[in-house]
């Protein structure tokens, strides 16, 4: 449907898992010993795949339905997973939060929710500068556990290729935990004792929130009764995994061909690329282009309609439903003005895409003390505006992309407990971006469910 441009047409004939190497690749670590890196990548190519091609295609079909307004996607997890923080209880808390929020959103939106965790591979981070300076000492920045380590020493900050193998092993371990939770029946995590609700007493408009929660939990009890002797039968829902496909050597090594000749990234169901690596003429887009997986790309407030059209043409030339997810992350103050023209540009092309809203990355602030944070009300505000703007354009907002932790962290401000800057030091664990904690995240899901109809109607 798109008349391919000369470069795109040329590129289309030449995709291979390593064809990205002929394009500019941003945000790649500087390894001191290229031979050591090459040996690790050879070893990685012999490691087992982490997911199956069949499940990635299943997810693509779900995303195609979400695009048509028949499902809603909740993509959620850490900004950066850590190797030393991925035991079974940790994964359980993360999946419990995902399950609970999905349950609440299903109620509010009256749609099944597709659960996509930022999990089992979210180990590499793009950074805005290459170096970090303290007291006159400059060292390379921390780029995620698959590259280096956060301590401010030259040794810790050295890019170590061995960590790519560790990333594969930690991803496999997290997946093992996820499967163990699924075998035990993920609906276990929806039992009353797993919900953290003390914050409710402090919440503004407490009665509305409580009434909705009572309804959600009552429905769950009823479903469990119906399920009877087959616990989990009604509530079993798959959790798909996703991560930022940043380190292209790693992603290439986990790219495998099926019997039909299609290439899949089998490190994750949904590889996505971030704002800093989303150039239509860049290596990351080139890499994603040839995969049979569903793929996703972040879209910022500065994207122009023509850039976005070029990206969509490149990543979804056949206009296949479910293939391409666009995650807008504009900031609460810019979304209103910037999103509409992009929606219109794609509508004019008849482009089939799924839109998600990431209300986190456009709302990051740095406090005078240097701590990065985000305000609960900015996050909620961007989501509200996103529903309104999509509705106004006859477009469908098909889901959310959130950074949230199942732990009781203190990284974002506000929410019912009214977290203040002075509270951030109490349990600030993220090495990169601030996450909603489990109470703030659950509150967000409840507030969305209560108000989504009103937001859509103010269009
Ligand atoms: C992220 O999601 O952690 C991220 C780096 O996003 P963005 O590319 O939108 O800044
Ligand atoms: Co982030």
CA angle 185/190/192 to nearest 5° reads 130
- Is residue 21 included in any domain, yes or no? no
What is the phi/psi pair of residue 261, to 5°? 85, 5
The helix/strand/coil state of 385 is helix
Residue-level pLDDT at 223: 82
Residue-level pLDDT at 270: 99
- Is residue 373 included in any domain, yes or no? yes
pLDDT for residue 10 is more than 80: no
Q: What is the C-alpha separation between 209 and 107, in angstroms, rounded?
A: 13
- Pairing between strand 113-118 and 239-244? parallel
Residue-level pLDDT at 224: 79
- Is residue 17 included in any domain, yes or no? no
Q: What is the C-alpha separation between 96 and 186, in angstroms, rounded?
A: 8
For the four alpha carbons of 404, 409, 414 and 420, in that order, the dihedral sign comes to: negative
- pTM here is 0.96
Ligand 1 pocket at CB < 6 A: 79, 126, 274-276, 298, 329, 361, 433
- Pairing between strand 255-257 and 263-265? antiparallel
- Is residue 401 included in any domain, yes or no? yes
The helix/strand/coil state of 189 is helix
Structure-model confidence comparison of residues 183 and 114, the more confident one: 114
Q: pLDDT grade, residue 233 (50/70/90)?
A: low
Element (H, E) at 298: strand 295-300
Q: What is the C-alpha separation between 379 and 441, in angstroms, rounded?
A: 10
Ligand nearest to the CA of 358: 1
Q: Are 119 and 94 in contact (CB under 8 A)?
A: yes
Residue-level pLDDT at 3: 40
190-218: average pLDDT: 93
- Is residue 18 included in any domain, yes or no? no
For the CA of 300, the closest atom of ligand 1 is 9
Task: Identify the DSSP state of 86.
Answer: -
pLDDT tens, residue by residue, 359-390: 999 999 999 999 999 999 999 999 999 999 99
The helix/strand/coil state of 180 is helix
Structure-model confidence comparison of residues 455 and 195, the more confident one: 455
- Report CA(367)–ligand 2 centroid distance (Å): 17
- Report CA(359)–ligand 1 centroid distance (Å): 11
One DSSP character per residue, 147-167 reads: T--SSSSHHHHS--THHHHHH
Q: pLDDT grade, residue 184 (50/70/90)?
A: confident
Closest residue by CA, ligand 1 atom 8: 274
pLDDT tens, residue by residue, 77-90: 999 999 999 899 99
Residue-level pLDDT at 41: 98
pLDDT tens, residue by residue, 40-59: 999 999 999 999 999 999 99
Q: What is the C-alpha separation between 383 and 114, in angstroms, rounded?
A: 18
Residue of 75, 141, 299, 361 best suited for mutating to test ligand 1, as the one with most atoms within 8 Å of CB:
361
Residue-level pLDDT at 4: 41
**CATH number for the domain harbouring residue 452:** 3.20.20.70
- Is residue 422 included in any domain, yes or no? yes
pLDDT tens, residue by residue, 308-342: 999 999 999 999 999 999 999 999 999 999 999 99
pLDDT tens, residue by residue, 279-311: 999 999 999 999 999 999 999 999 999 999 999
- Pairing between strand 354-357 and 324-329? parallel
The helix/strand/coil state of 44 is helix
Closest residue by CA, ligand 1 atom 3: 79
Q: pLDDT grade, residue 220 (50/70/90)?
A: confident
Its domain, for residue 411, covers 30-457
Closest residue by CA, ligand 1 atom 6: 274
Q: pLDDT grade, residue 182 (50/70/90)?
A: confident
- Is residue 40 included in any domain, yes or no? yes
Residue-level pLDDT at 12: 55
Residue of 128, 275, 382 best suited for mutating to test ligand 1, as the one with most atoms within 8 Å of CB:
275
Q: What is the mean pLDDT of the chain?
A: 94
State how many domains the chain has. 1
- Report CA(424)–ligand 2 centroid distance (Å): 17
Percent of the chain with pLDDT over 90: 88
Q: pLDDT grade, residue 186 (50/70/90)?
A: low
Ligand nearest to the CA of 374: 2
Ligand nearest to the CA of 75: 1
- Is residue 8 included in any domain, yes or no? no
123-152: average pLDDT: 97
pLDDT tens, residue by residue, 395-450: 999 999 999 999 999 999 999 999 999 999 999 999 999 999 999 999 999 999 99
Residue-level pLDDT at 213: 95
- Report CA(221)–ligand 1 centroid distance (Å): 37
Residue-level pLDDT at 232: 59
Ligand nearest to the CA of 430: 2
């Amino acid at each position: 449907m798109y008349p391919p441009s000369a470069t795109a047409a040329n590129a289309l004939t030449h995709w291979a898992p390593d064809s990205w190497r002929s394009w500019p690749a941003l945000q790649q670590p500087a390894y001191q010993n290229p031979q050591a890196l090459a040996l690790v990548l050879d070893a990685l190519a012999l490691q087992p795949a982490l997911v199956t091609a069949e499940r990635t295609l299943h997810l693509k079909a779900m995303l195609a339905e979400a695009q048509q307004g028949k499902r809603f996607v909740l993509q959620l997890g850490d900004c950066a997973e850590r190797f030393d923080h991925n035991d079974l209880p940790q994964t359980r808390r993360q999946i419990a939060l995902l399950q609970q929020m999905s349950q609440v959103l299903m109620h509010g939106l009256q749609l099944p929710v597709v659960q996509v965790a930022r999990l089992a591979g979210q180990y590499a981070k793009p950074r805005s500068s290459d170096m970090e300076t303290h007291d006159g000492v400059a060292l390379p920045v921390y780029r995620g556990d698959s590259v280096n380590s956060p301590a401010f020493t030259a040794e810790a900050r050295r890019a170590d290729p061995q960590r790519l193998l560790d990333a594969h092993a930690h991803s496999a371990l997290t997946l093992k935990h996820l499967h163990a939770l699924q075998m035990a029946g993920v609906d276990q995590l929806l039992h009353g004792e797993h919900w953290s609700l003390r914050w409710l007493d402090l919440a503004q408009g407490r009665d509305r929130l409580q009434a909705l929660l009572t309804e959600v939990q009552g429905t769950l009890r009823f479903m469990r009764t119906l399920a009877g002797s087959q616990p989990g039968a009604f509530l079993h829902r798959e959790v798909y995994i996703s991560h930022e496909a940043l380190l292209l050597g790693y992603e290439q090594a986990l790219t495998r061909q099926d019997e039909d000749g299609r290439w899949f990234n089998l490190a994750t169901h949904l590889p996505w690329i971030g704002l800093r690596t989303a150039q239509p003429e860049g290596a990351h887009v080139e890499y994603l282009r040839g995969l049979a997986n569903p793929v996703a790309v972040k879209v910022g407030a500065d994207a122009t309609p023509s850039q976005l059209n070029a990206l969509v043409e490149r990543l979804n030339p056949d206009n296949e439903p479910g293939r391409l997810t666009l995650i807008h992350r504009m900031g609460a103050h810019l979304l209103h003005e910037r999103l509409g023209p992009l929606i219109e540009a794609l509508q004019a092309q008849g482009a089939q895409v799924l839109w998600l809203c990431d209300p986190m990355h456009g709302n990051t602030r740095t406090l005078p003390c240097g701590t990065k944070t985000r305000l609960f009300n900015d996050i909620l505000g961007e989501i509200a505006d996103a529903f309104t703007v999509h509705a106004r354009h006859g477009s469908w907002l098909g889901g959310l992309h959130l950074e949230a932790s199942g732990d009781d962290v203190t990284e974002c401000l506000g929410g019912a407990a009214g977290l203040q800057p002075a509270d951030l030091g109490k349990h600030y664990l993220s090495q990169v971006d601030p996450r909603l904690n489990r109470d703030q995240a659950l509150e967000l899901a409840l507030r969305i469910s209560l108000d989504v109809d009103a937001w859509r109607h103010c269009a």
